[in-house]
Amino acid sequence: MNDNPRELTLYVKGLLLDEGFDLVGVTDPEVPEYARESFIRWLEEGMHADMEYMERWRDRRLNMKLLWEDVRSVVVVAKSYYTPWKVPSEYRIARYAWGKDYHRVMKKKLIRVGKRLRGEVGIEFRAYVDTGPILEKVFGQKAGLGWQGRNSLLINPRMGSYFFLGVLLLDVELEYDSPFAHDFCGKCNRCVQACPTGAIRGDRLVDARKCISYWTIEYRGEEIPDEIAEKMDSWLFGCDICQEVCPWNSKARPTDWREFQPREEIFQLNIYDIARMSEEEWKAFSRASAIKRARLDGIRRNARAILKFRGS
């Protein structure tokens, strides 16, 4: 099978589809020049805010061989996390964090496929789900899964953008898919206009210094600046506004993975309780969830910011 790239490619894709992934594409490990220039500009203009790890791993993001010298193929998978569930709460949490932590759920499945390939055909692999210095959206477009929209998210014409991306690096050359060549955003500017803080520039770059998701998840300071807090509305963790207004998400495909079904308990507190949440309450609230990324101090800080401007 290793002597037949097409046969091996179909086998790899078949294993991943059998695991339940919605989309699978394959590409080479080269970062396109346009993506290099865009990422460097994002860093040089300070749009990564205080996320120093983005600068620290800059070279590896721009050269996959520095991440793993033996990489010859990048396999990109996508899985929908969309559910049409209506949030019964006075605060909002980004839809991707309603279920179990996608990092663990998807990586477990990627590793299972990787181990099978190693055992059956001697292929070595590396698996990543938003945890390594990889430009996932860039490789997703190169692998034919969609185009990068004005809000920087990868959009698929049949699924919208409510999906997770995972990457399986392999040390064999597979048959590469054609890059997704069309930009179906057209003249639509809804995400740019809807962003309450003006974080979406419209050139496929998002300025983290203005982004509600950054401030409620990545920021480690004690208080959120008033100019951001007054525009947070009820967003406690992350923000979905640019996805909610995107016309392509009318095609969002409900997930069939039980792990991504909403954990109703994360919406059963009130905002006042969250502002003074105890360590034990936090453990139950964030159990097996991507919400852990914000940490207890961050969630309490976010709740205080919401309360400060509620009703103003």
211 closest CA partner among 222, 196, 226, 225 = 196
35 and 147 together in one domain: yes
Q: What is the pLDDT of residue 285?
A: 95
228 and 117 together in one domain: no
Q: What is the pLDDT of residue 186?
A: 94
Q: Tell me the whole-structure pTM to 2 decimals.
A: 0.96
- Residue at 185 is within a domain: no
Q: What is the pLDDT of residue 89?
A: 84
Walk along the chain (312 residues) in steps of 10 and give the mean pLDDT of each run. Answer: 87 98 98 97 96 94 97 98 89 97 98 98 97 96 98 97 98 98 96 97 93 98 97 96 98 96 92 95 95 98 95 52
26 and 111 together in one domain: yes
Q: How many CB atoms lie within 10 A of CB 32?
A: 15
Q: What is the pLDDT of residue 311?
A: 60
Determine the Cα–Cα distance for residues 90 and 269; give it in Å rounded to an integer: 9
Number of separate domains in the chain: 2
> Could you give the angle at which helices 5-18 and 102-121 cross, rounded to 10 degrees?
140
Q: What is the pLDDT of residue 203?
A: 87
HEC per residue, 176-227 = CCCCCCCCCCCCCCHHHHHCCCCCECCCCCECHHHCHHHHHHHCCCCCCCHH
**Domain ranges, residue 302:** 190-254+262-309
Q: What is the pLDDT of residue 145?
A: 98
Residues with catalytic function: 130
Task: Find all residues with CB under 8 Å of 44, minimum gap 6, and list them.
Answer: none
- Residue at 179 is within a domain: no
Q: What is the pLDDT of residue 202?
A: 79
11 and 149 together in one domain: yes
